[in-house]
Structure 1
Amino acid sequence: MAFADNLRQLPSVAHIAALRLLDASGNEVASIPNAPGKTGSLTIYAALTAKHGAINVAAAREGLELFAEHTEDARQHPGNHPNIDRLFDVIANSKSYSVQIDSQA
């Protein structure tokens, strides 16, 4: 399925202001705001967190499938899709990030 089709299958993130990824020490390593151009990534990361409890290797593999056509573009153009690049890194280095979700006010 295409990225847009995958997004339509996932829960809404209208209630989320941002999603923060935390390393094993609790340090924030990334944040995905609910903002234009970021909502798709936020939707995928939130769904992965709900299913897997964290962004771990299993979640990252599923995430690459959900990003669909953007995954191949990210492979060909490292740096253009940082939220996909991060999933490649999670898989390559067996990383895991806990997630903090900030609700809309």
Structure 2
Amino acid sequence: MTFAENLKQLPGVSHLAAIELIDAEGAVVGRIENKPGQAGSLAVYNHLAQLYGAIGPDAAARGLEIYAEHTADAHANPGKHPNIDRLIALIERDETLKVKQIFAV
């Protein structure tokens, strides 16, 4: 399946303004907002957090599957897809990020 097809299978995120990604020390190391260009990644990361409780190597591997064809492009072009690059790095470094939901008002 393509990323667009996978995205249709994920829960909606209209209730979210953003998510923050928090490292083991409690620092916010990333933010994905509910806006064009980021809404797909917001849905992926939110889904992974719901399934796994946080985004560690197992969740990241599942995320790379969801990103489908974009994952291969991210491997070929580091920096082009920062939210995919982050998942790859979590696997490589065996790290986990907590996810904080920022609800829309």
TM-score (norm: length of structure 1): 0.99
Question: Partners of 1:41 and 1:19 in 2: how far apart?
Answer: 10
Question: Does the residue aligned with 1:72 lie in a helix, a strand or coil?
Answer: helix
* Offset from partner CA, 1:6-55 (integer Å, 9 cap, x none): 00000000000001000111100000000001000000000000000001
Read off the aligned partner of 2:42 and give its amino acid letter: L
Give % identity: 49
- Report the equivalent of 2:82: 82
Distance 2:14 2:69 in 1: 24
How many residues align? The count is 105
Supply the RMSD in Å over aligned alpha carbons.
0.4
| 1:20 corresponds to | 20
Partner Cα distance (1:2, 1:60) in 2: 17
**Whole-Å separation in 2 of the counterparts to 1:90 and 1:4:** 23
Q: Which consecutive segments of 4 or more residues in structure 1 shift more than 6 A? A: none
Pair 1:52-2:46 in alignment: no
How far did 1:68 drift? 0.3
- Distance in 1 separating the partners of 2:17 and 2:76: 31
1:1-105 to structure 2, matched below 5 A, reads 1-105=1-105
Q: Which runs of 5+ in 2 are unaligned?
A: none
Q: Secondary structure at the match of 1:20?
A: strand
In 1, the alpha carbon distance for the partners of 2:26 and 2:100 equals 10
**Equivalent-residue separation in structure 2 for 1:74 and 1:84 (angstroms):** 7
Post-superposition offset of 1:104: 0.1
Segments of structure 1 that go 5 or more residues without pairing to the other structure are none
